[in-house]
A and B are shown apart, each in its own frame.
Chain A
Amino acid sequence: DAGITQSPRHKVTETGTPVTLRCHQTENHRYMYWYRQDPGHGLRLIHYSYGVKDTDKGEVSDGYSVSRSKTEDFLLTLESATSSQTSVYFCAISEGGGRAGNRPRNTEAFFGQGTRLTVV
């Protein structure tokens, strides 16, 4: 899946504990995204990054924080996990469009395999 690795792939954690999910890319893409997927809601954007140390909130950012200290890594942290954060989490990357020399940069997103998080 386009050089994107999410870890862990599955996690069960207790309410109130902190949890960090990792997304690692080998594509050198500028943009990285964290989404959660829930039945009836599709994919909802949590946070995204448009460069190292440059991040912004998405649609459902409450209870989540992110960090991007290197181009290749985008971390999602649940400060104090709640049962409502039980979900499947997807990381995505994108070049973001524009051009790199003579080559147009991709605008579409490429997704990781997902992390299934259960908060009990």
Chain B
Amino acid sequence: AQSVAQPEDQVNVAEGNPLTVKCTYSVSGNPYLFWYVQYPNRGLQFLLKYITGDNLVKGSYGFEAEFNKSQTSFHLKKPSALVSDSALYFCAVRANTGGFKTIFGAGTRLFVKA
């Protein structure tokens, strides 16, 4: 069965510092991996995805994520955090073996302090 773990409920970082939001996954076959962001009272917005190819993928708003197959991880990163990055971040996985169910993690709340 597919599953996604986001081990940190909350991540605190100072503005200008690098940030990392962690995600590990379990899925049969090759995974499709995604990061989404949710601002207050809004739906989720797509940030970036890994399907195949280069393990480092770049997305919106300066975010990037690194796919590590051996560690089954897909951590979200940004070199320099902004206060406006404060939001709820979700990692998601979809199996590449039919069904196309997309399963989300519980979310990590990011606080960026000025």
A109 to B43, CA, bound (A): 11
Within 8 A of B (CB), among A68-120: 90, 92, 94, 96-97, 107-114
Residues of the B chain whose Cβ atoms lie less than 8 Å from the Cβ of A94:
100, 102
Total interface residues on B, using CB and 8 Å? 23
B111 lies within 8 A of chain A by Cβ: no
* Interface contact A113-B43, CB-CB below 8 Å: yes
**A-B interface contact total, Cβ < 8 Å:** 62
Given the known interface contacts A43-B104, A45-B101, the answer about A108 and B43 at a Cβ–Cβ threshold of 8 Å is: no
By a beta-carbon cutoff of 8 Å, the part of chain A in contact with chain B is 1, 31, 33, 35, 40-45, 48, 50, 56, 58-59, 90, 92, 94, 96-97, 107-114
A96 to B51, CA, bound (A): 12
A40 to B6, CA, bound (A): 11
Residues of the B chain whose Cβ atoms lie less than 8 Å from the Cβ of A110:
46
In the assembled complex, how far is the CB of residue B102 from the closest CB belonging to chain A, in whole angstroms?
A: 6
Within 8 A of A (CB), among B79-111: 90, 92, 94, 99-107
In the assembled complex, how far is the CB of residue A92 from the closest CB belonging to chain B, in whole angstroms?
A: 8
Within 8 A of A (CB), among B58-94: 90, 92, 94
B44 lies within 8 A of chain A by Cβ: yes
Residues of the A chain whose Cβ atoms lie less than 8 Å from the Cβ of B94:
107
* Interface contact A56-B34, CB-CB below 8 Å: no
* Interface contact B32-A107, CB-CB below 8 Å: yes
Residues of the A chain whose Cβ atoms lie less than 8 Å from the Cβ of B43:
1, 90, 111-114
Given the known interface contacts A42-B106, A107-B32, the answer about A48 and B46 at a Cβ–Cβ threshold of 8 Å is: no
B49 lies within 8 A of chain A by Cβ: yes
* Interface contact B32-A44, CB-CB below 8 Å: no
Q: Which of A41, A42, A96 has the most CB of B within 10 A?
A: A42
